[in-house]
Amino acid sequence: MKLTISILKADVGSIGGHTKPSKRMIDATEQAVADAISSGLLIDGYVGHTGDDICMTTTHTRGPNDTDVHQFAWSTFLKATDIASQYGLYGAGQDLLADAPSGNIRGAGPAVAEVEFDHDPIKTNPVRPAESFFVLAADKCGPGAYNLPMFLGFADPMYCGGLMLPRLDQGFTFNVIDMDNTDGDSIISLNAPEDYYKLAVLLRDNERFGIDSIVSRYSGEMAAAISATRLHNIAGSYTGKDDPVAVVRNQGIFPAPEELTSPYAKAHFIGGDARGSHVMPLMPVPINTAVTGMYCLPLVSCVGFSIAADGTFSDSSIDFFDNQSWDHVRLLAQQKAIEMRSQGWSGAAMLPYGELEYSGFRQSIGDLVDRFAFRNGHGAEVPEKATADD
């Protein structure tokens, strides 16, 4: 069958500041998913939260950008928003930037990542005898948060030894989106390993260029899809960080989970943190982790699934970052955060003016810029043009 995995995530309210959604909000979301399964809209679904973002992982046969699936997600986020408003939670409906989108909800605020593929999990299937994938959900960070880990996992044999094996050694195509182009989805396709350096040139800029999807050059199968969008380009002002999601297929013709998750041991620096205006390390955390540390650290969770022949999730899920080996990385991230935040507002510790997401910062700077004046009340003297007689 043609199966679609749809990941839909939004921040629609949280307790005591931007920490986590309430139990009532999660319960309402889980009930909505259960009802959608009963009605036949969805085959299966899983609900969790990363920081204050509620994330729904679903399977169905309706294809990407399906209006009914996306409208279900929108109405579910509205229900959670109503609960947040009723109980006075912070940021109720924060990521719902449109009044009532009539079709799919891409560009309306929620993060969306979807993959469609032929699902035939039998031993004789030469491409995918079993289907496994994981979902990355990030909070308090910009849309390019996955650029470095995805690049290392799908293009660098120092992190993914599987790239030296048959089938995987044919490499992957990276579809990269220019998120500053507001006229539409502006995409460039680059191949690894041939375009390794060209990819690095683009992906170094997490705030402008982001990986939209990754495709196997051996099979043409999509390996990963990422919600690379800029909320401030949608809303015109700061409404919260972009907090991307990603669905990543693994094993077989794709890298293994450990090859794809090991780059997160870097706790690499990205834009995000408080008011979306700092540069801080990305901390891998278990699913359903709240934002309660001494800083508003960017967080990422990673939950893995297998899919049965009927499209349902098999048995249970696995939390890849809920392991004592990641405790060391969390301490590393915290130490890196302390060092960076000790620099306060100076230099690289905060995003440059052009990338400051919080409209208040931009207004404060703009008000001061308007007060600049040339010394002695006039500009530099412009020399007269020389003539032929000079």
Instruction: Give me the active site residues, please.
Output: 11, 238, 241
How far apart CA 290 and CA 283 sit, in angstroms, is 12
Instruction: Tally the C-alpha atoms within 13 A of residue 160's C-alpha that lie toward its C-beta.
Output: 29
Which one, of 78, 125, 121, lies nearest residue 99 by Cα?
78
Q: How far apart are the first and last CA of the chain?
A: 83
Give the C-alpha separation, 366 to 374, whole Å.
Answer: 17
CA proximity to 177, closest of 206, 211, 130, 147: 211
**Cβ 144 vs Cβ 246: under 8 Å:** no
Q: Return the structure tokens found at 263.
A: 């780059």
Please state at what angle helix 196-203 crosses helix 147-155, rounded to 10 degrees. Answer: 170
How far, CA to CA in Å, does 276 sit from each of 33, 119, 230, 297? 31, 39, 12, 10
Residues 6+ apart with CB under 8 A from 292: 19
Distance set, CA 294 to CA 18, 137, 185, 346 (Å):
13, 21, 37, 19
- CA torsion angle 72 77 80 82 (round to 10): -100
